[in-house]
Amino acid sequence: MSGSSKRPLGTRRDWQTVGAATGLGCSVVTSLILCIGGGALLDQWLGTEPLLTLIGVALGLASAGYLLYELAVINQPEKGLLRWRKPVSRQDRETR
């Protein structure tokens, strides 16, 4: 290997990917902690010990799954489930 060749730290696209993955990780952890913690606190307050904690686990996993889905389609905005789509005009339909 030549000692004078230096490799750049990463391209802009690499840093965007790192940022998206970090954001996803923080969002997943936050949603799980809030849902499970909220269920446990409500269980303690209402005296329904395991029920609301289990519901919190299910809601946390569902929200984490949705966030993972959003990351998977982040580069494909037309594939997103809850994305607003621009209405297609009649002329656009005829040209297709």
Would residue 49 count as lying in a domain?
Answer: yes
pLDDT tens-digit readout, 14-24: 888 888 888 88
pLDDT tens-digit readout, 8-60: 677 888 888 888 888 888 989 999 999 999 999 999 999 998 999 999 999 99
* Residues 17, 78, 29: CA angle, nearest 5 degrees: 45
Taking residue 15's Cβ as centre, other Cβ atoms within 10 Å add up to 11
Would residue 31 count as lying in a domain?
Answer: yes
Would residue 27 count as lying in a domain?
Answer: yes
Name the domain count of the chain. Answer: 1
Would residue 81 count as lying in a domain?
Answer: no
Would residue 79 count as lying in a domain?
Answer: no
Would residue 43 count as lying in a domain?
Answer: yes
What crossing angle do the helices spanning 12-46 and 49-72 adopt, rounded to 10°?
A: 170
Identify the domain containing residue 62 by its residue range.
Answer: 23-71
Would residue 82 count as lying in a domain?
Answer: no
Is 0.75 surpassed by the pTM of this model? Answer: no
